[in-house]
A and B are shown apart, each in its own frame.
Chain A
Amino acid sequence: MDHDGLPKLDGALIHFRLDPRTGVPAYRQLVDQVRHGVRLGVLQPGDQLPSVREVVTQISINPNTVHRAYRELEAAGLAEGRPGLGTFVLAPATPPITAEHQTELQDELDRWVGKARAAGVDDEGIQALVAMSLLERDDRNVNEERVAR
């Protein structure tokens, strides 16, 4: 990957962070952040994930938790451990959002948020609506799967 013109901070391509308030287990937060990075194209196939030591000293996390997260990513086919070298990103099953799509979706969302605000819905209300919409969609998918079977 070419990093010309960008400030080079350190060797790692992504920096993990932990949110202790979410109740989401730490290993899952790491897995989700890699998935997110892949989806947004920050991480690309062939990229090396930070070493366990890098993650541990960066965010003060138990080494076994990082091992576990990387094992999960391998099991999900998102990463590959190469003995003696490290863990590397594999080609994702779902393609990353294209810049064009991202702009379009973002614009639509901005308009929708504007509408919600105008209707007097606060941030929490907006988040609840989004969560509900995602949840309903998940339910629908599950039901469709059931019907398909």
Chain B
Amino acid sequence: MTDTVTALETSGLGKRYGRTWGLQDCSFLLPQGRVAALVGPNGSGKSTLLRMAAGITVPTAGEVRVLGSSPQDQTVDVLTRIGYLDQERPLYKTLRVEEMLRFGRSLNPAWDDQLARRYLAELDISLRSRVGKLSTGQQAQVALTLCLAKRPELLLLDEPVAALDPLARQRLMQVLLGSVVDGGITVLLSSHALSDLEVVCDYVIILSASHVQLADDLDRVLATHRLLVGPRRDPSAVPNGVEIVSATHTERQSNWLVRAEQPVTDPSWEVVQPTLEEVVLAYLRDQASGGKVSLRSPSAPEHAGNHTNNEDVGAR
């Protein structure tokens, strides 16, 4: 696994829709070979980010670079190296699966027909089926297969498992992860299925209130976040070298989710390893409550809280 090459890089990236920023001041690096989760509430800018990376939406500010090039240049070279799957899964419902394959073949120079046929056979999807007659799960499989047959180096998936039943979700992930092993591709996928992501992904980008809250290796994220449980006390009692991400209190007890570079050894706290889900929710809760403890987004306040009525700004 080489980390030296960057698959996706953004710096100061932003997109404004009218007077509202759909995404702002977004800077992160995604090393090659990772399976990255893009998480955040609806309207936090996930779709906008993916569409800018895919070269579909033009940024208002900043820069996005995919595999070293700008997708906005619309050079055929970089666009053929990106696979993008919209959450709407655009398929021609009246076509047969094999006609979709022919379509893909004629549009993509690096098209791998054998791979597409092999994946579809593994999924028991007949090439003769009409796309519109397939189940939602099978349509998702076909859409992903078409994306993978393009042989992309970077795969951008917007909510690939939304609306799928657990079995279809699992099969889609199996195809996706199998293709990561086969082709060494980098994946960035947005999802709300937090508990699934912890085993599927090895990189995490948390978006909230149109800003990047965190972008790091999953291992590092888990290693540097701790849940502190102890008798109720005020935030000044927090151990040195620890940043509070979110705090909840009962009459007797304080629960703090903190970011700590060093192990917390203070014996007055019970120190627990949080799950990815708990870490993500802590960052989202922090923003929803007005972002009192702003970790990575000093310019957030004027936009904090607008994501609730801002549903899916990036979607058509």
Contacts and interface: CB of A to CB of B under 8 A. Distances in A.
B1 interface: yes
A90 interface: no
A53 B182 contact: yes
A61 B201 CA distance: 8
Nearest to B172: A60
Contacts of A63: 35, 177, 180-181
B174 A60 contact: yes
B275 interface: yes
A23 B275 contact: yes
Contacts of B178: 53, 56-57
B275 A57 contact: no
B195 A60 contact: no
B199 A53 contact: no
A11 B170 CA distance: 21
B33 to A, nearest CB: 8
A116 interface: no
Given A23-B273, A53-B182, A18 B177 contact: no
Contacts of A64: 1, 33-35, 202
Contact of A62 (B174, B177, B195): B177
Contacts, number: 53
Contacts of B200: 60-62
A108 B244 CA distance: 50
Contacts of B196: 60
Contacts of A60: 170, 173-174, 177, 196, 199-200
A53 B201 CA distance: 15
A57 B119 CA distance: 12
A73 interface: no
B198 interface: yes
Contacts of A56: 174, 177-178, 180-181
A26 to B, nearest CB: 5
Interface residues of A, number: 18
Contact of B202 (A20, A58, A62): A62
A32 to B, nearest CB: 15
Given A23-B273, A56-B174, A57-B174, A62 B181 contact: no
Residues of B in contact with A, size category: 20 to 34
A67 interface: yes
Interface string B175-204: 101101110000000000001101111100
B199 A20 contact: yes
Of the candidates A52, A60, A61, the one having the most CB atoms from chain B within 10 angstroms of its own CB is A60
A62 to B, nearest CB: 5
Residue among A20, A23, A59, A63 facing the most chain B CB atoms (10 A cut-off): A63
B275 A61 contact: no
A65 interface: yes
A129 B170 CA distance: 37
Interface string A3-41: 000000000000000101001011000000000000000
B1 A20 contact: no
A75 B195 CA distance: 30
A20 B198 contact: yes
A61 B199 contact: yes
A25 B201 CA distance: 13
A20 B277 CA distance: 11
Given A20-B195, A23-B273, A61 B202 contact: no
Contacts of A61: 177, 199-200
17 contacts: A18-B199, A20-B198, A20-B275, A23-B275, A25-B222, A26-B199, A56-B181, A57-B175, A57-B178, A60-B170, A60-B199, A61-B200, A62-B35, A62-B202, A63-B177, A64-B202, A65-B199
Interface of B: 1, 33-35, 170, 173-175, 177-178, 180-182, 195-196, 198-202, 222, 273, 275
